[in-house]
Each structure stands twice: as structure tokens, then as C-alpha cells.
Chains A and B, each alone.
Chain A
């Protein structure tokens, strides 16, 4: 890539990909921006008219918006907490030499390959169903009243389902990080008089810090847009108990046929996601340069 000719050739050849990607992003984004300024209702086709910022006004003053904002944060925070704590513990467990290690590791990774709609349906119908679910029969064997998870603890249930899907990912990343820990460091700490828990706290956990930040970053990006799990289990309810921003945008545009309002919600979601991204990048940027 040294000569002028080869550099311009490189630019020329890479440009179709760049232009395609740019168009892929710019076209939907500008259409969304454009729709968000229209009074655009699917029930009144051909009646679109300029609406200024009223779509934003209505979306941001909708009480459901604040519920959705809170729910999004609770969902992301809850899943992150469960997957990281659980992931660290599982990684420690899987790092121990044991019989059938390879098979166990593959089994642990398996949930990640199940598509969200399927896993949510399995959880809803086979585990959490208050009549025929596994948990219900477990409760009944213990002589307890079956608990209707999705009705009485809907957010917790969703967090549980999403965590189940993301736990393998966290475990996988943390396990590889764990394996890169120099065993001599642990032995040195042992010689220095650190009992197992302190070795974990002072040596293993700091070593995992970088992997944990990577897990937080990647998972946050995906968890902000959780949708399928909510659609097939609670439909955002009861009330707005499990409506996150993604689901609210969907409900606005396709359940209430208000494409303009939905687009305004989409733009708000983009802004919020970017705010989160900036904070994360700052936090992680500090952690990533050693």
C-alpha cells in the first residue's frame, strides 16, 4: 500500500462497500426523521401532512414513555447483573478440571444458539405456565400455590428469560479470560498468604475486569433492543409493566397505527442509546488501555 496508485486503487475498490453501508444507514435514518415530522396514520392513507414537532411532544409526554424508559433500564441492568455475576461463577466452575469438560462446555454455550422467540415460548409454556408449567408442578409438589410468573412478576420473568439467553455469552468470554490468567500469579498469591476468596478478589477479579467491560458493552447494545421475548410472552403488559422503548415504538406504529409517533419514538431511542454508548465508551476506554 505504498504507492499513490495502489492507495487510490484501494480507495476505489473499498468505496462500493462503504457507499452501500452508508446508504443502508442514511436512508432509513432520514426516512425515520422525515416520518417523525408527519402526521402519518396507517388508518388514513394518503392524508399525511406536516406536523412539526408535535409527534415528539406527544411521545415524550406519554406516561408510557417514562414507564418504558424505566423498564428498559431495569431490564438492561437486571440482565447485566445476573449474567455477569452468574458468568463469573460459571466460568470459575468450568475452569476446574473435571470429567467430560468438553461436553459440559458445549452444553453451557447451547442456549445462545436458541432463537429468542423459541426460548421465550419454551419458558412461557413449559416453565412458567401456572397450570402446566414445570415450576407450577414443582410448587405443587412442595404443597405451595403455583405462581403465575408472567402475570405477577412480569419484569422479573422477562429478565430471567433474557438472562438465560445471555449467560452463555458472558460465561464464554469470561472463561477465556479466566484461562489466560497466569497460574503463577495465583500461586504467588497463595504463597503470599491469600486464602481462596482473597485470591479471587485481588487477583482473578481484576484480571477479569477487561473481559467484564467487554461483556457489558456488547450486551448493553443488544439488551437495549430486546423485543421478541416481550412480544411472545407479555405483549408489554400487564399495562406497561414490561414495555421497553423498543416495544413502545412498535406499539405506537403498528398497534396504534401511528407511524409518525413511532418514528419520533425511534429517534428518541437513538438519542438515548447514543448517550448510553458515550458513557460506556468512556468507562471502557479507560479500562481497555492497560
Chain B
């Protein structure tokens, strides 16, 4: 079980309100990702759930029970830190066994559980090494191992992949997702990387300046962003947000169109512009089109083989059906 309910939870540091009162429900077994730009309060929110910070107002319920004043260790949650926070003077075995030792389990039980966790995480050969002798990915797995031996009702991850190189990050992303499928335990995951959020989450919580901008499944957020912030934040490369005369033609304050919903042609189209920087990824090419008179640059996606060069004139045709419309307050208009 691991249903976490936040009821008007708020956090202030002195006079600064980091998180205005917010409500959120995390269902049992869900993989929830908190995503937002740095400084948006997502880590603080996670630490409030963990109990490492005291709430300034509101209530946190875990499995229906009030946990607002409960000590971190007693909440039944396990946390994986950004720096892994492994104990450098202990071997991997002792690191993983530490929470069990603190819980007063017998040596035999400790060994059994540690072996079990090590087998799940492919750490069996490294049990007698120190964290200093492990690679980044292995350290990450030890940190996860230390979390899973406790059999918590929910896992909390605080930007766990941000210290890994790109290739490892993709690998660990898969491993964590797989772990979630196998354990079916609630996981709350904080990241600033919207790709991680999109690929891993059952439910994404987009945060901005401590406020929840939108909660929903990755595709919901992609297809129906509630406001311009979410529209600009979810999706890679970013959605083109166009204001001014072009938006007025559609009778709204802002229109948004994703790079993948714009057709590129050298001959004809709705908007005319000049090719700026192009990013060739092999499968796709992203063109930054300048001088359209709409925005500084319009990003468009084309196939990998499109033969356009810096300075060429291109015509862009947005797919009207995939266009997003927003009012003066930045809210979505259906």
C-alpha cells in the first residue's frame, strides 16, 4: 500500500512562501513524476513528503493516516538521493543492510534480504566493495538497493539520474521503470528533465514556482496542455508559441504549434522564412527558421533526409487541427 494525499500542504522559509497550499493525491502503485524548472519547489515538495522538512501548513496522509508530524523513518518511505548519499566507509553489503540493522533485524535476515536485493539489482559481485570503488551507475543501484530492502510503501527519488552520463541515464531510466513494474510500489520521482518525466511517468505533476500547473498522464499533457507554461515545458523540442497578429487571426492571444506539426516545403506554404541553424539527428532534422515575422525563431521537425541549408528560403504549413490556442491569461481555449 502506498497512497499519499497532500491536503493544502504549504511550505514557507521565513517570509518566503516556497510552496503555496496545494492538494495532490498519489494513488497506490502509481509512478508519479514531479517536473519543473529548477527552483520550482519540486525537491522541497518531495522532502516534505519524506519528512525531512516540516510543513508550514496542511496535512500529509499516507494510506489514510495523518503523517504530518511522523518522523521520516516511521513513514514507511524510502528515498534515493541525488548524490546517492551512500555511506563511504561501509561496504556495499553494509550500506544496503544499514536500514535493516537500524530496524534490529537478525544477521541472518539481514543477509537474506541484502542478497535478494543485490540479485535484483545485479550487485552480487560488488557486495564487498566500498562505494568509492564503484561506477556511477553501480552507486545508483546500491542507493536503490538500500531503498528496496526496507520494503517501503513508496519510493521517493530526488533527481537520481542527474549525476550520470547520458548513456547510463537512458539505461537507468529503463531499469527504474522495470523495477516499478516488478515491485508495483508507489514511486514519486523528481526531475527537471521532461524526457525522463514523459518516458517514466504514469502521472506527471508539472510545477512552477511552487504551484501545480497541471496533473495528468504524459500524453494528456502533450496533447492538451492546460496553459502556455505546460505547453512550453512538455515536449522536445519546445512548442512554438506565437503571439501578436498571427494569433489574432485565430481570435486568441497566443497560438502554439509543436515542431512536429509543421510541414516544411521549399516551394509553398502558409508562413515564409529562412533556415537558420539545423540540427541533424539522423532520424529527424530540426530546423530553426528565422525571419518569419511570427517569433524569434520557429522550430520545425523534418525527416532526416530533407535537403535544406543555412539561408535557404522555406515555407511552413502548420497543421491547424493540432494547433493549441491560449487566452490572454495563458489558459487553454478548447
List residues of A whose CB falls within 8 A of some B CB: 182, 184-185, 187-194, 198, 202-203, 206-207, 209, 290
Contact = CB atoms under 8 A, between A and B. Distances in A.
Contact of A187 (B52, B103, B146): B52
Contact of A191 (B77, B82, B83, B132): B77
Interface residue SS majority, chain A: helix
A188 B72 CA distance: 10
Contacts of A190: 52, 72-73
B52 A193 contact: no
B85 A182 contact: yes
B286 interface: no
Contacts, number: 57
B72 A202 contact: no
B87 A193 contact: no
Given A188-B146, A194-B73, 12 more contacts: A185-B86, A188-B85, A188-B86, A190-B52, A191-B72, A191-B78, A193-B73, A194-B102, A203-B87, A206-B89, A207-B88, A207-B89
Contacts of A188: 79, 81, 85-87, 146
Given A191-B50, A192-B150, A202-B98, A184 B82 contact: yes
Name, among A184, A194, A206, the residue most crowded by chain B CB atoms within 10 Å (CB to CB): A184
Interface in B81-126: 81-83, 85-89, 98-99, 102-103
A257 B240 CA distance: 95
Contacts of A187: 52, 72, 79, 81, 85
Given A191-B50, A191-B73, A198 B102 contact: yes
Contact of B87 (A185, A191, A290): A185
A189 B98 contact: yes
Contacts of B98: 189, 192, 194, 202
A194 B150 CA distance: 13
The 10 A-B residue pairs whose C-beta atoms are closest, nearest first, are A193-B73, A192-B99, A188-B85, A184-B85, A193-B102, A206-B89, A184-B81, A185-B85, A194-B102, A191-B79
Interface string B119-138: 00000000000001000000
A191 to B, nearest CB: 5
Contacts of A202: 87, 98
B44 to A, nearest CB: 13
B102 A192 contact: yes
A193 B86 CA distance: 15
Name, among A191, A198, A206, A207, the residue most crowded by chain B CB atoms within 10 Å (CB to CB): A191
Given A191-B50, A193-B99, A290 B77 contact: no
A219 to B, nearest CB: 23
Interface string B263-278: 0000000000000000
Nearest to B98: A192
B82 to A, nearest CB: 7
Nearest to B73: A193
A138 to B, nearest CB: 42
A250 B72 CA distance: 61
B97 to A, nearest CB: 10
Contacts of A198: 102
Nearest to B77: A191
Contacts of B88: 207, 290
B96 to A, nearest CB: 10
Nearest to A206: B89
B146 A192 contact: yes
Name, among A187, A194, A198, the residue most crowded by chain B CB atoms within 10 Å (CB to CB): A187
A192 B94 CA distance: 13
A189 B88 CA distance: 13
A184 B132 CA distance: 16
A245 B78 CA distance: 57
A209 B88 CA distance: 12
Contacts of B102: 192-194, 198
Contacts of B72: 187, 190-191
20 contacts: A184-B81, A184-B82, A185-B86, A187-B79, A187-B81, A188-B86, A190-B52, A191-B73, A191-B77, A192-B73, A192-B102, A192-B146, A192-B150, A193-B102, A193-B103, A194-B73, A207-B88, A207-B89, A209-B89, A290-B132
B39 to A, nearest CB: 19
Interface in B140-181: 146, 150
A266 B323 CA distance: 92
A184 B103 contact: no
A202 B87 CA distance: 9
Nearest to A192: B99
A209 B132 CA distance: 17
A169 to B, nearest CB: 24
A185 B146 CA distance: 12
Contacts of A185: 85-87
Interface in B66-83: 72-73, 77-79, 81-83
A75 B73 CA distance: 44
B86 to A, nearest CB: 8
Name, among A192, A194, A198, A203, the residue most crowded by chain B CB atoms within 10 Å (CB to CB): A192
Contacts of A191: 50, 52, 72-73, 77-79, 99
Contacts of B103: 193
Contacts of A206: 87, 89
B213 to A, nearest CB: 28
B74 to A, nearest CB: 8
Contacts of B99: 191-193
Name, among B86, B98, B146, B150, the residue most crowded by chain A CB atoms within 10 Å (CB to CB): B98
